[in-house]
Amino acid sequence: MVQCPSCARLIKPAITCPGCGAPVGSELDCFAALGLPPRLQIDTVRLEQAYHDLGRRIHPDRFASSPVRLRQASLRATALLTRAYRTLRDPVARGLYTLELNGVKLAENNKNVPPDLAELVFEVQEQLADLNAERSRGGEAARGLNAEVTARRAELQRTMDGLMDELNALFARIDANDTAARDDLYAELKAILSKIAYMRTLIRDVDKELDLTRAA
Amino acid sequence: MSRIFGIDLGTTNSLIALLEGKTPRVIPDPASANALLPSVVALVPDGAVFVGDSAIEMEPRLALKPDSQVSGPGPHRGEAGAVVRSVKRYMGLGGDEVSPEDRRRYAFTDFAGPVVRFRVGERSYTPAQISAEILKALKRRAEAALPDEKVDRVVITVPAYFNDGQRQATKDAGRLAGLEVVRLVNEPTAASLAYGLNQMAEGKVAVYDFGGGTFDVSILNIKGGIFEVLATNGDTHLGGDEIDRAVADWLLEEAPDSVRDRRAWNSARLVAEDAKKRLTQANSVELRLDLEGGRRIARVLTRADLERMASPFVERTLACCGRALEDAMLRASEVDAVVLVGGSTRMPIVRRRVEEFFGRRPLCSLDPDQVVALGAAVQAGVLMGSHGDMLLLDVVPLSLGIETMGGVMERVIHRNTTIPTSAAENFTTAVDNQTHVDIHVLQGERELANDCRSLARFKLGPIEPQPAGLPRIEVTFLIDANGILNVTARDQRTGREHSVDVKPSYGLTDEEIERMLEESIDLGEQDLERRLLITTRNEADQILTALGKQLKEYGELVAADERRRIEETSSQLEAARRGDDRELIGRLVEELNEITTPFAERIMDHAIKIALQKKSIEELS
Tens of pLDDT along B557-611? 888 889 999 999 999 999 998 888 888 998 999 899 888 888 888 888 887 788 7
pLDDT for res A170: 94
B408 touches chain A (CB under 8 A): no
pLDDT for res B520: 57
Residue A138's Cβ-count burial label (10 Å; 0-12, 13-18, 19+) is exposed
Q: Is B180 a catalytic residue?
A: no
C-alpha distances out from residue B43 to A126, A183, B13, B61, B523, Å? 63, 72, 18, 12, 19
Q: Is B290 a catalytic residue?
A: no
Nearest to B391 among A1, A61, A82 (CB): A61
pLDDT for res B521: 44
- Tell me how far apart the alpha carbons of residues B250 and B243 are, in angstroms, rounded to a whole number: 11
Nearest to B226 among A52, A64, A83 (CB): A52
pLDDT for res B68: 38
Q: Report the percent of chain B where pLDDT is more than 70.
A: 89
Nearest to B607 among A1, A7, A61 (CB): A1
pLDDT for res B75: 36
B147 touches chain A (CB under 8 A): no
Overall size of chain B counted in residues = 621
The residue-averaged pLDDT of A14-25 equals 91
Q: What is the dihedral of CA B276, B277, B278, B279, to 10 degrees?
A: 50
- Do A55 and B539 make contact, defined as CB atoms within 8 angstroms? no
pLDDT for res B462: 82
Q: Is B209 a catalytic residue?
A: yes
Which of the following is catalytic: B29, B152, B187, B307? B187
Which of the following is catalytic: B8, B102, B164, B235? B8
- Checking if the pLDDT of B80 tops 70, the result is no
Please give the residue that has the higher pLDDT: either B372 or A25.
B372
3-state secondary structure (DSSP) of residue B407: helix
Crossing angle (nearest 10°) for helices A91-101 and A183-215: 150
Whether the bond into B420 is cis, omega within 30 of 0: yes
- Checking if the pLDDT of B466 tops 60, the result is yes
Tens of pLDDT along B167-195? 999 999 999 999 999 999 999 999 999 99
Nearest to A78 among B382, B420, B542 (CB): B420
Q: What is the dihedral of CA A127, A130, A135, A141, to 10 degrees?
A: -90
- Tell me how far apart the alpha carbons of residues B513 and B520 are, in angstroms, rounded to a whole number: 10
pLDDT for res B301: 96
According to DSSP, the residues that pair with B203 across neighbouring strands are B222
- Tell me how far apart the alpha carbons of residues B521 and B232 are, in angstroms, rounded to a whole number: 40
A-chain residues near B389 (CB < 8 A):
56
Tens of pLDDT along A204-214? 889 888 877 77
- Do A64 and B4 make contact, defined as CB atoms within 8 angstroms? yes
Q: How confident is the prediction for chain A on average, in pLDDT?
A: 88
For the beta carbon of residue B333, count every other beta carbon within 10 angstroms: 9
Ramachandran angles phi, psi of B429, nearest 5°: -95, 155
- Checking if the pLDDT of B308 tops 90, the result is yes
Nearest to A7 among B539, B549, B607 (CB): B549
Please give the residue that has the higher pLDDT: either B539 or A200.
A200
B146 touches chain A (CB under 8 A): no
- Checking if the pLDDT of A109 tops 60, the result is no
pLDDT for res B77: 36
Tens of pLDDT along A57-101? 999 999 998 999 999 999 999 999 999 999 999 999 999 999 998
Q: Please state which of the ranges B116-125, B410-419, B501-510 shows the lowest mean pLDDT.
A: B501-510
B-chain residues near A62 (CB < 8 A):
385
Nearest-Cα residue of chain B relative to residue A66: B538
- Tell me how far apart the alpha carbons of residues B60 and B71 are, in angstroms, rounded to a whole number: 10
pLDDT for res B531: 58
- Checking if the pLDDT of A190 tops 70, the result is yes
The residue-averaged pLDDT of B344-353 equals 96
- Checking if the pLDDT of B262 tops 80, the result is no
Please give the residue that has the higher pLDDT: either A181 or A112.
A181
Tens of pLDDT along A117-128? 888 888 888 988
- Do B481 and A86 make contact, defined as CB atoms within 8 angstroms? no
B-chain residues near A64 (CB < 8 A):
4, 182-183, 383-384
* CA dihedral sign of residues B532, B534, B537, B538: negative
Nearest-Cα residue of chain B relative to residue A11: B607
- Tell me how far apart the alpha carbons of residues B415 and B171 are, in angstroms, rounded to a whole number: 22
Question: Chain B 172-201, CB below 8 Å of chain A: which residues?
Answer: 182-183
The residue-averaged pLDDT of B381-405 equals 89
Q: What is the dihedral of CA B378, B382, B386, B391, to 10 degrees?
A: 110
Q: Is B8 a catalytic residue?
A: yes
Tens of pLDDT along B51-73? 999 888 877 766 444 443 333 33
Contacts of B391 (CB under 8 A, 6+ apart): A52, A55, A56, A59, A61, B225, B226, B227, B382
Nearest-Cα residue of chain A relative to residue B155: A64
CA nearest to B18, candidates B114, B153, B110, B113:
B153
pLDDT for res B69: 36
Task: Give A70→chain B minimum CA distance, Å.
Answer: 10
B392 touches chain A (CB under 8 A): yes
B537 touches chain A (CB under 8 A): no
CA nearest to B571, candidates B540, B533, B605:
B540
Overall size of chain A counted in residues = 216
- The verdict on pTM exceeding 0.95 is no
- Do A55 and B393 make contact, defined as CB atoms within 8 angstroms? yes
Nearest to A75 among B4, B391, B420 (CB): B420
- Do A79 and B422 make contact, defined as CB atoms within 8 angstroms? yes
Please give the residue that has the higher pLDDT: either B388 or B393.
B393
A-chain residues near B385 (CB < 8 A):
62
- Do A67 and B542 make contact, defined as CB atoms within 8 angstroms? yes
User: What confidence category does residue A215 fall into, taking pLDDT thresholds of 50, 70 and 90?
Assistant: low
Q: What is the ipTM of this complex?
A: 0.81
User: What confidence category does residue B78 fall into, taking pLDDT thresholds of 50, 70 and 90?
Assistant: very low
Angle at B59 between CA B57 and CA B60, to 5 degrees: 95
B156 touches chain A (CB under 8 A): no
Report which secondary-structure segment, H or E, holds B4.
strand B4-9
C-alpha distances out from residue B255 to A109, B244, B259, Å? 60, 17, 7
Q: Please state which of the ranges A61-65, A129-133, B529-533 shows the lowest mean pLDDT.
A: B529-533
Contacts within 8 Å (CB) and 24+ apart, B596-605: B596/B547, B596/B566, B598/B562, B599/B550, B599/B554, B599/B557, B599/B558, B599/B562, B599/B566, B600/B550, B602/B554, B602/B557, B603/A10, B603/B550, B603/B554, B603/B557, B604/A1, B604/A10
B-chain residues near A45 (CB < 8 A):
none
Most confident by average pLDDT, A73-87, B249-263, B434-448: A73-87
- Tell me how far apart the alpha carbons of residues B266 and B317 are, in angstroms, rounded to a whole number: 25
Nearest to B383 among A7, A61, A76 (CB): A61
- Checking if the pLDDT of B488 tops 60, the result is yes
What is the DSSP code string of B160-195? TT--HHHHHHHHHHHHHTT-EEEEEEEHHHHHHHHH
The residue-averaged pLDDT of B244-265 equals 83
User: Is the Cβ–Cβ distance between B248 and B219 less than 8 Å?
Assistant: no
pLDDT for res B607: 78
Task: Give A56→chain B minimum CA distance, Å.
Answer: 6
CA nearest to A38, candidates A86, A83, A102:
A102
Please give the residue that has the higher pLDDT: either B355 or B202.
B355
Q: In what order do the strands lie in the sheet with B109-110?
A: B109-110, B117-120, B123-125
Task: Give A44→chain B minimum CA distance, Å.
Answer: 15
- Checking if the pLDDT of B212 tops 50, the result is yes
A-chain residues near B392 (CB < 8 A):
61
Contacts of B385 (CB under 8 A, 6+ apart): A62
Ramachandran angles phi, psi of B578, nearest 5°: -80, -20
Inter-chain Cβ pairs, chain A and chain B, closer than 8 A: 77
Task: Give percent helix, percent strand, percent coil of chain A, each to the nearest 5.
Answer: 70, 5, 25
CA B378 from centroid of its chain's CA atoms: 17
Tens of pLDDT along B96-151? 888 887 887 776 677 777 788 888 877 888 999 999 999 999 999 999 999 999 99
Q: Please state which of the ranges A41-50, B372-381, B446-455, B566-575 shows the lowest mean pLDDT.
A: B446-455
Q: How confident is the prediction for chain B on average, in pLDDT?
A: 86
- Checking if the pLDDT of A158 tops 70, the result is yes
User: Is the Cβ–Cβ distance between A75 and A60 less than 8 Å?
Assistant: yes
Residue B194's Cβ-count burial label (10 Å; 0-12, 13-18, 19+) is buried
Which of the following is catalytic: B59, B102, B152, B209? B209
- Checking if the pLDDT of A172 tops 90, the result is yes
pLDDT for res B320: 95
CA nearest to B176, candidates B484, B520, B526, B531:
B520
